Amino acid sequence: MTGATATIGSGAVLGLQIRAMAVRSVIRLLRQPQAIVPSLVFPLFLLAVNVGGLDSATELPGFPTDSYLTFALAFTFIQSAIFSTMNAGQGLAQDIENGFFDRLVLTPMRPSALMVGQLIGLVMLGVLQAILYLAVGLAFGADFAAGPAGVVVLFALVVVISLGFGGIGLIMALRTGSGEAVQGMFPLMFVLLFFSSMALPRDLIETDWFRTVTDINPVSYLIEALRSLMVTGWDPEVLLLGFGIAIALALATISISARLLSGRMDR
Amino acid sequence: MTGGTESGPLRYLSSASGVAWRYLHNLYTRPSMFIPSLVFPLFFLAAFAGGLSVVGDAPNFDYYDFTAFQFCFILLQASTLAGVFAGFSIAGDFEMGMGRRLMLATRRRSSIVLGYGIGAAARLGVTWTIVTGVALAGGMEVAGGGLNLAGIYGLALLSNVAALLFSAGIALRFRSLQAGPLMQLPVFIILFLAPVYVPQELLTGWIEPIASVNPITALLSAARSLMAGEPTGVFGAYLVVFGLIALMGFWAIRGLRQAEAAG
């Protein structure tokens, strides 16, 4: 009985801790427009540029849709996930750099609360971005072949992808403890995006080495899963592959960051 | 007295070359500074020329070689961003107090801006060699002759000067690296609002009217026509870039006066 009470109490305390950290993470993000605005605006700018510049690609034989906007919309979600990598990592790195993390270690706060709280804030931002991108895309005439149920699946996939990329940011922050080092990851993440099937379907990429890179780049499959909901409708194989990669990425990065976090708290 | 007057221009050039030498020395002894400026153009060249080559098969896309088509954009982009990166160095120097010491060391302070300008132009040699080499190794066909190529690199050099003067104006006003995005983002945006992926005639939607008034479009179209050996609009492009230099030169000098006033 006492044990059960203690267990319930412990769970409730953990819940409170997570909530406190999540609220802190969200408030901190909202107080840093310089961190949020680029992650909202930049993907839309690139989308607009690509749609204006590459619309003629839809006339190529084998292009899956006659609307380049519908085709390109998916990559905005991935690009915002890449920004969330930076936001998550930057937040934790700041906590380490300014001593907040060390002070936290002296309190009964559990490491998992800090990490989950950080990730919840990140997911909330990811969903907010997804709503904006989808609304802008639909307002400008993009199709959504999978219908309303597909929107739910899209958001579910966005959440898992945000967790996966957020985990990468946490790993960088915990390994380096430096916001500058986390920012230094940004170009590398951008390479993953540009060397994927973001601009053209893989089967239309003519350059052999580039197609090979896109084949082995997991970001291609994440984009294609999101894109399939807009262009094709329901494609179980593409969706399962996308979800599988996103879940594997999230599990791997979060478990690595949890281990790194425990190690850093034990120091 | 006479001697002092005669040595004025020499002293001015000596100050400028000192600043340029210091800039280049700092640049090439710190890999974190020069590697990104080399890697980014190559990355864009690979992503655009490699990943989008099928776009060259789109109906009405009549340029002779897609890699050459993209190379012209990448060359202008790399040259322009090299000017912006020099602006970062100006801002960093002022943030650390070096800029103030430079101002105390010379009477005609425009030589400081000239020095960074010489440094920014000098670094282009390395960037151009690598980007051109990689493009040629990637199978780029050059249809234009030597004079045409000189015309392309001339446009790239002048766009570097215009970008340097623009970012120097920002750097001298803010005197802090915090102003970095203010230098980089407008240049990045104006570059991508030009016909990057397809010729101007194939642009659709909102970007088409913007591209038609974007000065970078004139430079890019002229560079592509020179590369194809069929020069069109080259005089206009040079006129545009000299106009930009005059405008940005005024902007930079006003920024210099603000930096002087701030002490």
Compute CA distances A29 → A122, A123, A130, whole Å: 9, 12, 16
What is the phi-psi region of residue A141: left when phi exceeds 0, alpha when psi lies from -120 to 50, beta otherwise?
left
Cβ contact B149:B142 at 8 Å:
yes
Chain B residues inside the 8 Å CB shell of A51: 205, 207
| Residue of B204, B208, B216 to mutate, interface with A, max A Cβ within 10 Å | B204
Residue B228 — very low, low, confident or very high, per pLDDT cuts 50/70/90?
A: very high
Taking all residues of chain B, what is their mean pLDDT, rounded to a whole number? 89
Between A119 and B214, where is the model more confident?
B214
* Look-up of token digits 């002779």: B64
Banded model confidence at residue A2, pLDDT cuts 50, 70, 90: very low
d(C-alpha B151, C-alpha B165), whole Å: 21
CA A231 to CA A249: how far, in whole Å?
A: 25
Nearest CA in chain A to B203: A53
Distance between CA A242 and CA A236 in Å, rounded?
A: 10
pLDDT in tens, A5-17: 455 567 778 788 8
Cβ <8 Å between A48 and B206: yes
Whole-number pLDDT of residue A14:
79
Write the pLDDT tens digit of every residue in A212-234. Answer: 999 999 999 999 999 999 999 99
Q: Is the pLDDT of residue A68 over 80?
A: yes
| Chain B partners within 8 Å of A205 (Cβ) | 51, 53-54
User: Is B47 within 8 Å of A214 when comparing Cβ atoms?
Assistant: no
B58 contacts on A by Cβ (under 8 Å): 56-57, 59-60
Per-residue DSSP letters for B100-133? HHHHHH-SSTHHHHHHHHHHHHHHHHHHHHHHHH
Indicate if the pLDDT at residue B222 is higher than 60. yes
* Mean pLDDT along residues A80-94: 77
Q: DSSP class of residue A55?
A: G
Average predicted confidence (pLDDT) for chain A: 85
- Across the interface, do B202 and A59 touch by the CB < 8 Å criterion? no
Interface predicted TM-score of the whole assembly (ipTM), two decimals = 0.73
Cα of first residue to Cα of last residue in chain A, in angstroms, is 35
A263 lies within 8 A of chain B by CB: no
Whether chain B has a CB inside 8 Å of the CB on A223: the answer is no
Q: Which residue has the higher pLDDT, B12 or A90?
A: B12
Terminal-to-terminal C-alpha distance of chain B: 29
B51 and A59: CB-CB below 8 Å?
no
User: Least CA distance to A194: which residue of chain B?
Assistant: B47
Residue in A closest to B204 by C-alpha: A52
Of A55, A60, A200, the CB nearest to B205: A55
| Residues in chain B closer than 8 A to A140 (CB atoms) | none
Instruction: Find chain A residues with C-beta within 8 A of B206's C-beta.
Output: 48, 52
Residue A154 tokens read as 């899209």
pLDDT at B2 over 50: no
Could you give the maximum distance between any two Cα atoms of chain B, in Å?
71
B104 burial via Cβ count (<10 Å: 0-12, 13-18, 19+)? exposed
Taking Cα atoms as reference points, which of A155, A226, A159, A144 lies closest to residue A193? Answer: A226
Asked if B206 and A191 come within 8 Å (Cβ–Cβ), the reply is: no
A46, A194, A206 member nearest B47 (Cβ): A194
Higher per-residue pLDDT: B159 or A104: B159
